[in-house]
Amino acid sequence: MTHLPKRVSITEVGLRDGLQIEPRILSTEEKLSLARALIDAGHTSLEVTSFVSPTRVPQLADAAELLAALRGTPGVELKALVPNVRGAERAIAAQADVLVFVLSATDSHGARNLNRSPLESLSELRGIVAQALAAGIRIDASISVAFGCPFEGDVPVERVIGLASDVQQLGISRVTFCDTTGMATPRHVQALAQALRDKMPDVDPAFHIHNTRGLGLVCVLVALQKGITRFESSVGGLGGCPFAPNAAGNVCTEDMVYMFHEMGIETGLHLDRLLEAAHLAERLVGHRLEGQVLKSGPRLSLRGHDA
């Protein structure tokens, strides 16, 4: 395992991607306590909310209030999803640091999940880019079902790269490739990472992997071996898979950080404090989360010499 990157950066998505599937609506104060615990653990990039319709996702109805409360935390980048031009206006007014726009790689998933085809999403994105530019705010893009679509099956790498290229031509350089329903495998991860290196050297990619079929950290490792250094994950593994109610969702931040640290790769995060944040997340949502280190503790803290 020579030639691995020495450092990775992680965007914590638990507050948005994790919470949005949770039935218990957290108060803004509760979300703030979790956000502060995550920042205290060293996080400098948080996807905090989404400016979707509050009737569609009641959990995120306090998007502006949450951003206002967190605004101005030194050295911390607050990201907000914007589904459309209207959401972007609200996010800009709320002074998000970064807007994130999601496009689907397939027509079927786009129609069902975003109510838009990839082409229609690109058109909407064009308007948002103009808004962001005028406001002096960065905008990143996320491509859903980049490693497979639950409706269409395999998604050709060429299609994903083509969409990323369209996005890049709108002036966006940071693109997240999302394993929306946990269909990524080592081969898919390798193929996409290789294509990105070969064909899109100017894009700064992040991989957002799910653990729905148990391969979450395997795919992260394979991505790392192919030079990917930006990842998205969720505290405690918060968030599930809407298509498979009992399955895991996002890769768990602490488990991923545990893996990186045990490989000598820096994350800038404190594992012990991440575990505290994950325990807090469990209390807030009212049920156990998927994180494994959360249940067992780090490897050298399991039993003392006198246990």
DSSP annotation string for 25-82: PPPHHHHHHHHHHHHHTT--EEEEEE-S-TTT-GGGTTHHHHHHHHTT-TT-EEEEE-
Cβ distance to its own copies smaller for residue 174 or 188: 188
Cβ distance to its own copies smaller for residue 65 or 152: 152
Asked if residue 246 binds its own copies (CB under 8 A), the reply is yes
99 in helix, strand or coil?
A: strand
Of residues 157, 81, 79, 86, the one with CA closest to residue 113: 81
CB of 133 to its own copies, least distance (A): 38
Q: Give the one residue of 7, 56, 71, 187 binding its own copies; rule: CB under 8 A.
A: 187
Q: Give the one residue of 21, 259, 279, 284 binding its own copies; rule: CB under 8 A.
A: 259
- Distant-in-sequence, close-in-space partners of 130: CB < 8 Å, separation ≥ 6: none
Asked if residue 307 binds its own copies (CB under 8 A), the reply is yes
| Site stretch for its own copies (CB under 8 A), options 21-29, 61-69, 199-207, 298-306 | 298-306
By CB under 8 A, the residues from 137 to 166 that bind its own copies are 148, 150-154
| Site stretch for its own copies (CB under 8 A), options 12-20, 31-39, 59-67, 185-193 | 185-193
78 near 97, Cβ under 8 Å?
yes
CB of 172 to its own copies, least distance (A): 29
Asked if residue 252 binds its own copies (CB under 8 A), the reply is yes
Catalytic residues: 241
**Which ranges of 249-297 would DSSP assign to H, the alpha helix?**
253-262, 271-285, 293-296
253 near 261, Cβ under 8 Å?
no
Cβ distance to its own copies smaller for residue 123 or 292: 292
Asked if residue 287 binds its own copies (CB under 8 A), the reply is no
186 in helix, strand or coil?
A: helix
177 in helix, strand or coil?
A: strand
Of residues 94, 173, 179, the one with CA closest to residue 140: 173
Asked if residue 194 binds its own copies (CB under 8 A), the reply is no
Give Cα 279 distance to the centre of its chain.
20
Interacting residues toward its own copies by CB under 8 A: 1, 108, 148, 150-154, 181-183, 185-187, 190, 211-215, 217-218, 221-222, 241, 243-244, 246-248, 252, 255, 258-259, 262-264, 288, 291-293, 295-300, 302-303, 305, 307
